[in-house]
Amino acid sequence: MKKICLTVVGMYFMLLHAFSQVTKDSAAFQPRKLKLDEVNLVSSYYTQNGDHSAIGGGIGTEKVTDLANGLELKWVGWDTRGRKNTLTAGMGIDHHTAASQAYISKTGASRRTDGLRLYPSLDWTRENEKKGTSFSLGAYYSNEFNYKSIGLNAGATKKTKNNGEFGLKLSAYFDQVRLIYPSEFEPAGSYGGFSERKHPDYGSSPRQTYTASFSFSQVINTRLQATLLLDLVEQHGYLGLPFHRVYFTDGSDAVENLPSSRFKLPIGLRLNYFMGDRIILRGYYRYYTDNWGLQAHTASLEVPVKLTPFLSISPFYRYYTQTAVKYFAPYEEHLTTDKYFTSNYALSSFSSGFFGAGLRIAPPYGIFGTHLSALELRYGHYTQTTDLVSDVISLHLQFK
């Protein structure tokens, strides 16, 4: 938590200086030109523990810690035809440690137990408020030691005459998975260690994900709003991880083997009910199914309560349950005759609960009269029937 505080404080003073410059030079900009409108800074700390590591074939520590920081800059302006243009640039940096990674090498040579992930993004949206339409384009990139991803997306929305809105978003991700195998499967003469960045035998395998997302939102009355959500997801390529072990009934082991394609179908419903001026009920339900045999249900409820005109608290709870994929079995329960096999407990049957609360402060003239327009602090605790537990705390600062 000390690292988070230092990061947030440093960026806070940097952003105050940036907004001071915007205010000072605002007279030089025309009203329709793009100008910096909003800055969001998010920091979070995540920790988990469990004893079903996929690297160990379904046994071993799952201890992980992750420190994440994200910065988002948003520019807004209007063109000569009165259309609103929004340009959003983001940069995320995650640093994580995973105790289980030390067991990729059975010889003890593996000592690389942490990693750094960078993920910049850029999005542009053009909204025609008179016609009730919008169009957006976006690009995304993520890079870490064993994984690289490039993402592209395009979206459009159309408002209806009776307070509704249709939405469509198409996205594609093109990934490369670095083939880092457990030590017993390393090619002869290799360096044989996850800690070796320039391993001569490391190759990579592609993975593609294509998604079509549909939504329809409707204002039913002055108190109730509803949104229907549907995603069609198709994946191709290497869909496992090469350092996930599987142990068979005879004691032998292998690298998990999964089909090279997967189709996912999530369907969701979101309801917001306004109970007067102080309380909102935010309900959500999602049903998920795929052709690997996994079916899941998610139900959540968040209740923001406005304590004062600028102070609110939001307790929340989410319940999730899923069946196992057809290819899952625990440690030493797979048969050597199985075509596909995994002991990754993320694909097993389990139920989970996630609960916590958020505290939001948003004075009308900024916190302490500065450009810091809103501050939100959230904490959540997660439990899973596989004995996995985790905690996450996050801080969101919004500058306007």
Average pLDDT over residues 308-334: 97
Residue 18 clears pLDDT 80, i.e. is over it? no
Cβ burial of 105 (10 Å; 0-12, 13-18, 19+) is buried
Cα(114)–Cα(195) distance, integer angstroms: 10
Range of the domain at 268: 2-26+34-373+382-399
Mean pLDDT of the chain: 89
Residue 388 tokens read as 């996995």
Sequence-separated (6 or more) residues with CB below 8 Å from residue 147: 175, 176, 177, 178
User: Mean pLDDT, to the nearest integer, of 92-105?
Assistant: 87
With cut-offs at 50, 70 and 90, classify the pLDDT of residue 199.
Answer: very low
CA distance 102 to 111: 6
Cβ within 8 Å of residue 193, ≥6 positions away = 105, 109, 110, 111, 112, 183, 199
Q: Where are the beta strands (DSSP E) in 238-346?
A: 245-247, 253-255, 261-275, 279-290, 295-302, 305-308, 311-322
**Cβ atoms of residues 327 and 344 within 8 Å:** no
- Tell me the pLDDT band of 101, cut-offs 50, 70 and 90: confident
The number of domains in the chain is 1
- Tell me whether residue 227 is exposed, middle or buried, using C-beta atoms within 10 angstroms of its C-beta: 0 to 12, 13 to 18, 19 or more: middle
Which residue bears the tokens 């339409």? Answer: 133
Spatial neighbors of 161 by CB under 8 A, at least 6 apart, are: none
Model confidence pLDDT, tens digit, residues 326-363: 999 999 999 999 999 999 999 999 999 999 999 999 99
How far is the C-alpha of 338 from the C-alpha of 249, rounded, in Å?
Answer: 11
Beta bridge partners of 331: none
* pLDDT per residue as tens digits for the range 128-163: 999 999 999 999 999 998 899 999 999 999 999 999
List the CATH number of the domain containing 156.
Answer: 2.40.160
Question: Which sign does the torsion angle of CA 178, 140, 166, 316 carry?
Answer: positive
What's the mean pLDDT in 366-378? 94
pLDDT of 8 over the 70 cut = no
Please state the separation of Cα 149 from the chain's center in Å.
Answer: 14
Sign of CA dihedral 332, 295, 297, 68: positive
Alpha carbons 322 and 286: distance in angstroms, whole number: 12
Section 29-35 average pLDDT: 68
**pTM of the full structure:** 0.87
Q: Is the pLDDT of residue 5 over 60?
A: no
Per-residue pLDDT at 287: 98
Residue in this structure with the two tokens 């900009």, named with its chain if needed = 29
What does the DSSP assignment read for 258-275?
--SEEEEEEEEEEEEEEE
| CB-CB contact of 181 with 199 (8 Å) | no
pLDDT in tens, 253-270: 999 999 999 999 999 999
